[in-house]
Homo-oligomer: A and B are copies of this chain.
Amino acid sequence: MSLQVAQIGEGALIAALGEIFVEVQNLKNQKNLLFGIGDDGAVLAPSELATVATMDLAVEDVHFKTDWSTAHQIGSKIAVANIADIYAMGGDPHSLLVGISLTGKEEVDWVLDLARGIAEEAKKVGAQVIGGDTVRGEKITIAITALGNTSEPIYRSGAKVGDHLVISGLPGASAAGLALLKADKRALFPEITKAHLQPSVDGKKAHALISAGATAMCDLSDGLLVDVTRISEASGIGMRINLDNLDLSSLSEVGIELAVDPISWVLTSGEEHLFIATLPPSAALPEGALQIGEVIQGSGVEVVGEFADARTAIGSSSISLKKWQHFEKRSSN
């Protein structure tokens, strides 16, 4: 029987967390870190590169549920969300700051597993936890700041008319996984469910899009339509999405099981941390990337082709029409 956080106290918890981070990360191997955990702040060596900085918060029962996810999965997921933001800016993550609000009733082992989830994702990408804060609160809340270096940041605002709209892979699995969890059918498709509970991020996919000449980029954090709209607005251009050629076979069995058209997951699934980019029309499509549309004159995002009617279904369910005022009605043929 594991002790609870309140039984060991803040000092012992911080010491135990520090041990996890050192153990998982081999902190001393990091050249850029002059000082990590254990003072008023961490100190990073000067760099000739620009710094990318981002912060994400996640709250129990809003962003994760402790009965759906292990602590390790929760830590992993929040770390990945922050790491993906650094890649999406054209950066490479090197440091995380981790703030955790705990009720005190958590088992210490649960908290250490959370820390291990964060530290392992950091290690995968060559980053490390360099500091943070632990406090008491009524709901578990996790704040992560990620820092990275970039030689050439890439913004949402650079898309040009005629560019191709591409995504580093097929989205939808996270939303499908969430639907499985809600339907209590996670056991039928464990891999799809895991895509929701513990998404991964592959920085090489972002690097490949940049190498291909990406003019604008972001990660898929809030759903394809939302994130493409952000590029459209930041760049002051329109987007035409055509999903007719996507191979949805990886989602079709779940769709049949749950009686949901998988295209709705493709359009709205977030927290997958694929990368959405615009590429010059002459650019070669990186391996695994999918062209899903093009940049057009004007403003707003329109969905065309066979799947365009999916908008209607989405408008009436998970996305409010008000948010999608840029959408204009358009016949699908």
Docked complex Cα distance between A35 and B153 (Å)? 9
Docked complex Cα distance between A132 and B139 (Å)? 20
Docked complex Cα distance between A53 and B127 (Å)? 15
A86 touches B51 (CB 8 A): no
Give chain B nearest CB distance to A43 CB in angstroms. Answer: 5
A58 touches B323 (CB 8 A): no
Docked complex Cα distance between A39 and B53 (Å)? 11
Looking at the complex, which of A89-97, A169-177, A257-265, A304-312 is the stretch in contact with chain B?
A89-97
- A55: chain B residues within 8 A (beta carbon): 97-99, 131-133, 143, 145
Docked complex Cα distance between A44 and B11 (Å)? 34
- A210: chain B residues within 8 A (beta carbon): none
Give chain B nearest CB distance to A99 CB in angstroms. Answer: 4
A57 touches B141 (CB 8 A): yes
Q: DSSP majority for the A interface?
A: strand
A41 touches B34 (CB 8 A): no
- A141: chain B residues within 8 A (beta carbon): 57, 59, 101, 137, 141, 143
Give chain B nearest CB distance to A3 CB in angstroms. Answer: 16
Q: Residue among A130, A134, A153 with the most chain B CB within 10 A?
A: A153
A63 touches B11 (CB 8 A): no
Docked complex Cα distance between A147 and B41 (Å)? 9
Nearest residue, chain B, Cβ from A226: B11
B54 touches A51 (CB 8 A): no
Docked complex Cα distance between A330 and B85 (Å)? 55
Docked complex Cα distance between A56 and B11 (Å)? 16
Whether a CB of chain B sits under 8 angstroms from the CB of A52 is yes
Whether a CB of chain B sits under 8 angstroms from the CB of A45 is yes
The answer, among B61, B89, B135, B136, for a CB contact under 8 Å with A41, is B89
Whether a CB of chain B sits under 8 angstroms from the CB of A113 is no
A145 touches B62 (CB 8 A): no
- A88: chain B residues within 8 A (beta carbon): 40-41
Docked complex Cα distance between A35 and B156 (Å)? 11
- A43: chain B residues within 8 A (beta carbon): 50-53, 89, 150, 153
Whether a CB of chain B sits under 8 angstroms from the CB of A110 is no
Whether a CB of chain B sits under 8 angstroms from the CB of A46 is yes
In chain A, positions 76-107 with a C-beta closer than 8 Å to chain B are 84-86, 88-89, 91, 95, 97-101
Give chain B nearest CB distance to A13 CB in angstroms. Answer: 14
Docked complex Cα distance between A34 and B45 (Å)? 20
Nearest residue, chain B, Cβ from A153: B43
Docked complex Cα distance between A89 and B56 (Å)? 25
Q: Which residues of A contact B (CB under 8 A)?
A: 11, 34-35, 38-59, 61-63, 84-86, 88-89, 91, 95, 97-101, 130-139, 141, 143, 145-148, 150, 153, 155-157, 218-219, 221, 234, 323
User: Nearest 5 pairs between A and B by C-beta?
Assistant: A143-B143, A41-B54, A59-B137, A145-B145, A55-B97
What are 7 A-to-B residue pairs whose CB atoms are below 8 Å? A39-B218, A41-B85, A43-B53, A43-B89, A46-B50, A55-B131, A57-B137
